[in-house]
Each structure stands twice: as C-alpha cells, then as structure tokens.
Amino acid sequence: MSTQTEGENKATTQEDVVAQQDRFKDFGENARKTYEQLYREMMFSLNVEHLEPFNKVLLKNNEVQIKNMENVIEHMRQKLLEKMLKKWNSFWLSSGVSESLISLEMYKEKFKEYEGKDWKIWDKSPKELTRPIRMHLNEKLIRYLQLQLDYQRNQLDQVLQENIEHRKKLEEIALQRTQLMKVMEEYEKKFELDKPEILRLQLELLDFGNENAATEIAKK
C-alpha cells in the first residue's frame, strides 16, 4: 500500500515539474529577445558624433577626412550588430541560458515562501559557516578512503587466492610423496619375502657353475 502511495506521489511530482516547465517555456526565449532588443538599441545609438574624434585624428595626422559619415555609421551599425548577435545567440544556445533561466524561475517559485527571510548568516561562527564545505570535503575523503579499502581488499583477495593455490600444490606434492613412500615400502616388503628364493637361486647357479667347471677339468 505504501509503495503504491509513493509511486503516486512521484508521478504527481513529475507532472508538477512538467506543468511548471510549460508555464515558463517562453521565459527564456523572451529574455533572449529582450537582450537582443537592447543590443539593437545600443548599436542604433551610434551616430556621427561618435566618429568625430577619429575624424579629427585622421585629419591631424594624415590630413584625411571621413566623408559620407552617415553611410559609414550605418555600415558600422549593421556590421557590429551582425557580429554581436551572432556571438550572442551562439553563446545563448551553447550555454543553455534559456533552460537555466527556466530552472531559476521554477526554483524561485518553489522557494518563494523563503523570500526576504533573514537567515542571520553573519551571526554564525566561522565553524558554522564552513560546516557545509567541511562536510563536503569529508564526504570526498570518505569516498577516497572507501576506494582505497576496496583496492586493498581486492589485493588481499588475490594474495589469499594465490596462497590457496600454493597450498593446494603443496598438498598435492605431500600426497604424491606419501604414495611413493607406500610404494617403496611395498617393494621392500616384497623384496624381503622374495629374498630367500633369490638366495636359493643364486646358490643353485653357483653349484651349476662349479659342476660345469669340474666336468671340463676332467675332460682335459
């Protein structure tokens, strides 16, 4: 039941945000047009008097005088306005100024109840004023330490895994050694059991050899 309520609240909040954006969707563009109009008025305010100092310098140093001042001023207005608006609109679009202004207006509306509130910020001690910054730095430090711990844990797991593999190899070697010892013991036992028979065969071979030698001597 609580999960459904949370979902409904979340959906309602999203709808409110969309509704706010719809209300302020023209705010950014209207602001851009307002600034553009101000730039146009600023450029249109250029007149012949603004060129008089340049005209005097040219006349004094080069004995040259600007003619058709009105045409020159008009040309300057057009070129300056063209360059200015091109740069201005490029900055406005690339920086997302309209979206930022819309977000600002939405936040202003959301926190309108706090408008004019005296937070008594200058009554706070330096420690209280810097608490948010210190908390942020501590959070960064905790994240860094957590990453260090994770890295060390991974290294430890690798070492433990290597130790397990080495231990398995040692256990295998010990098992093979035990098996070889058992085989050797079995061969020794078998040899002890067969030893009398081996000695008997050796004696028979010796006796057979002596008989053959005696026979050869008798023949000679």
pLDDT digits (tens, 9 = 90+) for 66-121: 677 778 778 888 888 899 889 988 999 999 998 899 888 888 888 888 888 777 77
Nearest to 98 by CA among 42, 38, 33: 33
Q: Pick the more confident residue, 214 or 53.
A: 53
Exposed/middle/buried for residue 163 (C-beta within 10 Å: 0-12, 13-18, 19+): exposed
The yes-or-no verdict on residue 142 having pLDDT over 90 is: yes
The whole-number pLDDT of residue 65 equals: 66
Q: What is the CB neighbour count within 10 angstroms for residue 39?
A: 15
The whole-number pLDDT of residue 17 equals: 75
Q: What is the CB neighbour count within 10 angstroms for residue 102?
A: 21
- Mean pLDDT check: name the lowest of 72-86, 167-181, 198-212: 198-212
The whole-number pLDDT of residue 90 equals: 92
Could you give the angle at the alpha carbon of 150 between the alpha carbons of 147 and 154, nearest 5°? Answer: 140
The whole-number pLDDT of residue 5 equals: 41
Q: What's the Cα-to-Cα distance from 164 to each of 157, 161, 171, rounded to whole Å? A: 10, 5, 10
Cβ(40)–Cβ(100) below 8 Å: no
The whole-number pLDDT of residue 63 equals: 66
The yes-or-no verdict on residue 178 having pLDDT over 50 is: yes
Rounded mean pLDDT of the chain? Answer: 79
The whole-number pLDDT of residue 70 equals: 77
The whole-number pLDDT of residue 144 equals: 92
Q: Pick the more confident residue, 208 or 31.
A: 31
How far apart are the C-alpha atoms of 202 and 174, rounded to whole Å?
39
pTM: 0.43
Q: What's the Cα-to-Cα distance from 160 to each of 148, 149, 154, 163, rounded to whole Å? A: 18, 16, 10, 5
Tokens of 111: 């926190």
Mean per-residue pLDDT, 17-41: 86
Q: What's the Cα-to-Cα distance from 75 to each of 86, 176, 193, 209, rounded to whole Å? A: 17, 99, 125, 137
The whole-number pLDDT of residue 69 equals: 74
Q: Pick the more confident residue, 97 or 220.
A: 97
The yes-or-no verdict on residue 3 having pLDDT over 70 is: no
